[in-house]
Amino acid sequence: MRLHRRKLLETSAGLAITAFIGGQSAAASTEGSCQPRDPLKNLMEGNHRFSNAWQEAGRNPSTNLGSELQNNRCFNAPQTLINEQHPWATLLTCADSRVSPSWIFDTTPGELFVIRSAGNTAFDAAIASIEYSVSILQTPLVMVMGHSGCGAISTAMGNSALTPSLERLITPIRSQIADSPDLTAAVRSNALGTATTLRDNSPLLREAEAKGSLKLVVSYFDLQTGAVTLI
């Protein structure tokens, strides 16, 4: 059974803002923040809510997907977010407009630290950003997430002429999807390769994982079902 605590916060304009604190079953009791005890469990539970709403909206076009989500769940208080952030998971995923982590995991501002580029490649900027989130913000979970219908992976599987910048984007993907029989296999192979690149190129992440302060996982988001599965 879920317990909710509603806090009314008064703005300078005298308007009431409602914040729900400690909304999900896995939430800890940290006042004014949304810190789950088990980040991976919390992430997958959020995706389960999204997936159910996504499929219901698919069956019934009159369903308002937004109204199905983010009801009675944890929200960080605006006053907290103005001065600090304590995201509990870091996502490295694709820039695809349909792959919005906050949406897919039914989370709210201040919960996820997100790095995105087409094809979710671990470029230097991505590695540095993740090192920042793990070492400074102390996120205990990093997820690399590929997705169905990925245009970047499709491009990497093809032979189209590309601009020099696009070639640089696609080159590491090509090296990670060699011999993949189809797009789904290539997406999965690429995501797993990205996780390997993170471990190979970041002693900080390797050490954090080895001592147990970081969990690094890989997943696949299926647009058909809205479900994220670990791979």
Q: Which residues bind Zn ion (CB under 5 A)?
A: 94, 96, 150, 152
Query: How many residues belong to the chain?
Result: 231
CB of 86 to Zn ion, least distance (A): 28
CB of 100 to Zn ion, least distance (A): 12
Chain mean position to CA 67: 21
In the bound state with Zn ion, the residue whose beta carbon lies nearer, of 152 and 170, is: 152
Alpha helices (H) in 60-181, listed in sequence order: 65-68, 78-83, 101-104, 124-135, 151-157, 164-176
Return d(Cα 42, Cα 55) in angstroms, integer.
20
| Phi, psi dihedral angles at 92 (to 5 degrees) | -115, 110
Question: How does 93-104 read in b/e, with b if 16+ C-beta sit within 10 Å?
Answer: bbebeebebebb
In the bound state with Zn ion, the residue whose beta carbon lies nearer, of 10 and 182, is: 182
In the bound state with Zn ion, the residue whose beta carbon lies nearer, of 40 and 152, is: 152
CB of 128 to Zn ion, least distance (A): 21
Return d(Cα 229, Cα 67) in angstroms, integer.
24
Number of alpha helices (DSSP H) and beta strands (DSSP E) in the chain: 9, 7
Long-range contacts of 210-216 (CB under 8 A, 24+ apart): 213/138, 213/140, 214/134, 214/140, 214/141, 214/142, 215/39, 215/40, 215/140, 215/141, 215/142, 216/142, 216/143, 216/144
In the bound state with Zn ion, the residue whose beta carbon lies nearer, of 94 and 208, is: 94
CB of 147 to Zn ion, least distance (A): 6
CB of 93 to Zn ion, least distance (A): 8
CB of 99 to Zn ion, least distance (A): 6
In the bound state with Zn ion, the residue whose beta carbon lies nearer, of 115 and 134, is: 115
Chain mean position to CA 1: 26
In the bound state with Zn ion, the residue whose beta carbon lies nearer, of 96 and 106, is: 96
CB of 95 to Zn ion, least distance (A): 7
In the bound state with Zn ion, the residue whose beta carbon lies nearer, of 70 and 93, is: 93
